[in-house]
Amino acid sequence: MRVVITGGSSGMGRECCNLLSGIAEEIVIIDIMEPDIKDVTWIKADFTDVDSLHELEHELAGNFDVLINSAGLPPRESKELDILLVNFMALRKVSEIIIPKMNPDSSIVNLASKAGSNWKENLPQIKRLIPIANLSDLTSFCKREELNHVRAYDLSKEAVIVWTIASCEGLKQKNIRINSISPAAIETRILDDFISAFGERAAQMINRIGRPGTPQEVAEVIMFLISKKSNWITGIDLPVDGGTSAVVNCIQLDLSQLGYN
């Protein structure tokens, strides 16, 4: 099994590398930061420079069985453009380069987020974003849509979910599965960025579900989605959130009196 992991030098991508060690024939990490992991191939790439990513086509030799798109930026102020570039446009670009190199019966997992869960309500804006193919048009889009960093982050993850769903049937014809996963709060070095961006409601939700998740807990789900055990699963977004979705649904739909309290 030959695997490509974007953002594999840290966080959930790094945890995937740990779990694949000794299993995968080769692990290729595409990241701006050099990994401190043994026995991997590192390709340096800046995902904010989407136009330069075409060079990956020549750096990625041979065919692959797994693509894990885990590179991403948190919601930081004044980084709206970079957030959309890294979290969605680069993800799509890298996928478009690697998909022709993927073997039959292979699997793609895209890292979305609980923050993308309102994609149905925001579908018109997502449909305006997804066709954008260059930096100039994306810059104009950000200004026209008056995005702040929080909305840019949510939108980037909504777009990942929608693009995953939209890509499912076409990739199925190539015998390639594609899914996304949506973690809630995860204990990584950027957790504080999320708490700062989403405010008190984020801290309250973490307290309500008991704790943040761990990168390994997310990586274990990714391992399932790339394995033969999930052969009949494709085109879905899978929440990995410690019950966050259930809590939100209980609040929104007034379900709390129907269960155990």
Kindly report, residue by residue over 82-112, the tens digit of the pLDDT.
999 999 999 999 999 999 999 999 999 999 9
Structure tokens at 140: 């104009």
How far, in Å, CA of 64 to CA of 243, rounded?
Answer: 34
C-alpha count within 13 angstroms, C-beta hemisphere, residue 117: 14
How far, in Å, CA of 138 to CA of 254, rounded?
Answer: 39
**Which tens digit of pLDDT belongs to each residue from 177-220?**
999 999 998 887 777 777 777 877 777 888 888 888 899 999 99
CATH 3.40.50.720 is right for the domain spanning 2-258? yes
How far, in Å, CA of 118 to CA of 75, rounded?
Answer: 17
CB 115 within 8 A of CB 186: no
